[in-house]
Copies of this chain bind each other. A is one copy, B any other.
């Protein structure tokens, strides 16, 4: 039996091959063809299997979730004026902004063609899709806002990242005919897993090994991005009357001293706080998975995947 990842890769390759090769569809195939972790479709298949379904039953919806995720990347990259995605030119850079808008729109419709064959699945998908849009809106709002609290930040990453992880799992469970309570529990597992994933991403951006992450160390700090680290760092700096972090942020981006900012975040205890926050989310994720009353053997693939995500250093 092919493993989950092979099933997904084959389904995506077959989908791309059947697409028309012209303007609107070429950018979809390009973006979907770039190397990616494909975690969300894996979660759809694993949740389906957890509740007694066959992974093959959920393959269309797994593809739909990955199409939706890539649609959000295509449009987010326009909004962020990002030149690169997965190390390659973004769609709006390779084609143009109008094509990236329109191809993204069509990609969302293609996602719905796969998600709307079961009204219950479509309803979950729409709920989570709206959450992702609201999260992106908050993310953009935060750039303009003076004060963002840790609670605001958590809500933003919950919407922007965690709800789609949660949605993928709820959809897989629904396809398998899971009970309402179980759909809720697997959704909670996903939400905490997604929050842990994003908070760890913030930590790795600052303290990770750039040869492993492939990103510039402290890129978020240089950009002044209001992540957990910067928000808590500034709060604690104000409480303790320490000036290093505000002084660095007052400088133009290119002249900021990243090692000094990292050292200050260590001294303030922010790195430790962030690591604790990741652990809390991981524990809550594990508790939700524990509470689901299915045979432990069935949970193995989800436990393995979440352990990989939790232990990653890239």
Interface residues of A (CB under 8 A from B): 23-24, 75, 78-79, 98-99, 101-102, 104-106, 108-110, 112-113, 115-119, 122-123, 126, 129-130, 133-134, 136-137, 140-141
Q: Is the CB of B75 within 8 A of A101?
A: yes
- Option from B75, B104, B112 in Cβ contact (under 8 Å) with A112: B112
Q: Given A106-B133, A119-B118, A137-B23, answer yes or no on A113-B126 (Cβ-Cβ < 8 Å).
A: yes
Q: Is the CB of B123 within 8 A of A109?
A: no
Name 6 A/B residue pairs within 8 A (Cβ), A-sorted: A23-B137, A102-B136, A106-B133, A108-B108, A117-B119, A118-B119
Nearest chain B residue, comparing its CB with the CB of A127: B113
Distance from A185 Cβ to chain B, minimum over Cβ atoms (Å)? 25
Q: Is the CB of B133 within 8 A of A105?
A: yes
Q: Is the CB of A126 within 8 A of B134?
A: no
Q: Is the CB of B137 within 8 A of A24?
A: yes
Contacts of A110 in B (CB 8 A): 130
Contacts of A78 in B (CB 8 A): 98, 101
Distance from A76 Cβ to chain B, minimum over Cβ atoms (Å)? 9
A145 to B23, CA, bound (A): 13
Distance from A109 Cβ to chain B, minimum over Cβ atoms (Å)? 5
Contacts of A101 in B (CB 8 A): 75, 78-79, 101
- Option from B99, B116, B129, B133 in Cβ contact (under 8 Å) with A126: B116
Q: Given A102-B79, A117-B119, answer yes or no on A130-B109 (Cβ-Cβ < 8 Å).
A: yes
A175 to B24, CA, bound (A): 31
Other than the given A104-B105, A106-B134, A112-B122, 13 more pairs (CB < 8 A) read A23-B137, A24-B133, A79-B98, A79-B102, A101-B101, A102-B137, A106-B130, A108-B109, A109-B133, A116-B119, A116-B126, A117-B123, A122-B122
A108 to B133, CA, bound (A): 11
Contacts of A117 in B (CB 8 A): 119, 122-123
Contacts of A134 in B (CB 8 A): 24, 106
Contacts of A108 in B (CB 8 A): 105, 108-109
